[in-house]
Structure 1
């Protein structure tokens, strides 16, 4: 059921957040460098 998918959904959301933050950080560093 939902409880079987919940950990994967949470991991997916966490990974999405991290990659989005990582991309914005890399773009900011590119702009200043």
Structure 2
């Protein structure tokens, strides 16, 4: 595969819970990237 460039402005961590009706994803923490003003 050839590499591709794509913008990333944050890293996010999720937990997942598998239920009979399907997976449920919950955002645990979000970390913005880049300069802060």
TM-score range, shorter chain: under 0.3
Structure number with the bigger relative contact order (C-alpha 8 A, sep ≥ 6) is 2
TM-score calculated relative to the size of structure 1 = 0.19
Structure with bigger helix share is 1
Query: Greater strand share, 1 or 2?
Result: 2
